[in-house]
Structure formats: C-alpha cells, structure tokens
Structure 1
Amino acid sequence: MTMPVNALSSALQQMQSMAAQAAGGTETAADQTNAANSSGFAAALKSSLDKISDDQQHAVGEAKAFEVGAPNVSLNDVMIDGQKANLGFQFGLQVRNKLVSAYNDIMQMSV
C-alpha cells in the first residue's frame, strides 16, 4: 500500500533548519540570491510532495469506491491510479535520498 508523505516533508523541514543553523548569521547579496533560489526550489519540492500526496489519496479513494461497488469506477482505473501513486512515492523517496546524500557531502566538505 502507499505510505504518507509526512516523513518526506519532515525531512525537508529538518534539512532547512540545519542549513539555517549552519549558515550562521551574516548574509551577503550572493547569500540572499541563493536563498531566493532555494525558496523557489523549496516551493517546487513542496508542490511535488503535495501532488504525490494527492495522487495517493485519490488512489485510496478510488479503491474504496471500487470495493463498495461504485458503478463509475473500473478495476483498470483503480490499478492504474494505484501504480501512479506508487511510482510518484518512489520518485519522491529517491529525490529525498539524493537530497540527504548531497547535504551530507556538503557538510563533510566544510569540516
């Protein structure tokens, strides 16, 4: 079955707070530009996570509708939407893994 995306969102929030702590305090113009770019990235990432979550909820809702015998829901649609939700989740999980790996690499460079 599908897993909630809350773990991915939580990991993103933890990474953002660690990055803010690692940044220290003083910001230059380049830092502000990087912050603007990262907020754009964060917004895109959040949008993707929301889409993954919506796809999972839609798949679960469709499966339940099929189980109770709704006439407008076919088994093909249920299976396809379930696979779409699963693929989206797997993609999000791999993106999270790559982000964590990149963050760890960057943190090791600064030592």
Structure 2
Amino acid sequence: MSGVSGIGSGAGLNEIMALRQQIIDRSQVLQQVRTGDTSATAGPTQGAGSSFTGALKSALDQVNQTQSNADTATAGYETGQVTDIAQVMLARQQSSVAFEATLQVRNKLLSAYQDIMKLGI
C-alpha cells in the first residue's frame, strides 16, 4: 500500500475511493432495473419515469464533468501549470472509467430495447 501513497497525496486515494463508490452505486441501480425492483422508487409510474430520466441526465452530466476535468488537467500539464503527472493520469483514468461505465449502460439499454421490440404483441 506504500506504493500507492508514494504516487500522490491522500486526496488521490480519496478520489479513487469516491469513484469506486460511484461505480458501485450505479451498478446497484442497474441491478434494480434489471430485476424490476421498484422499492427504491416508491411512487406512481409517472414519477418513476421522470426519476429515471433525471438519474440518467445526472449520470451523463457527471461523466461530462469528469471528462472536462481531465481535459483541464491535461491542458494544465501541457502548459506547465500542473506539475503532478500522477494527478493528471488519475484524472484521465477517472474519465476513462466513467465513459466505459456509461457505454456499458448504453449497451444494456439498447439490448433491452431490442429485446422488447422482438416481443410479439
């Protein structure tokens, strides 16, 4: 564990743990959607739909913000404003993981949509 603390400050580890928690939270939401568990969204169907839309928009906004932060860190390093390469690499990796998670969610939603369209009514 001493190798990790040698890379950057304790704040870097906190950022990694926060990113890990976000991935776990999103995974739990996806699991609830897959199993049809609506206990987390107790309310009318219309409320659940707008809740899903809001959650999806919020998640996409967070991914966009993460990518923007990574671009800012990269530009800062290129111009000499940021000298900690570990911080820049951490920001780039967070951006990559967030985008990959979003891509996997999109793939699952697309697959579910295609399965629904194949159903005979």
By the TM > 0.5 criterion, same fold?
yes
Tell me what 2:55 maps to.
Answer: 44
Deviations 1:47-95 (A, max 9, x none): 000000000001001100011111x541000000100000000000000
Match of 2:100 in 1: 90
Alignment gaps of 5+ in structure 2: 1-43
Unmatched segments (≥5 aa) in structure 1 = 1-32
Distance 1:74 1:102, change over 3 A: same
1:54 aligns with 2:44: no
Other-structure match for 2:91 = 81
Query: Counterpart amino acid of 1:87?
Result: V
Distance 2:78 2:97 in 1: 22
> Structure 1 residues 109 and 44, CA, compared in 2 at 3 Å: closer, same or farther?
same
**Sequence identity, in percent?**
37
Q: d(CA) in 2 for partners of 1:55 and 1:63?
A: 12
Superposed, 1:1-111 pairs within 5 Å as 33-70=44-81, 72-111=82-121
| SS across alignment from 2:80 | coil
| Cα deviation, residue 35, structure 1 | 2.8
**Match of 1:61, as an amino acid?**
T
RMSD: 1.6
> Aligned residues, how many?
79
TM-score in terms of structure 2 length? 0.61
Output the amino acid matched with 1:55: T
Q: Match of 1:9?
A: none
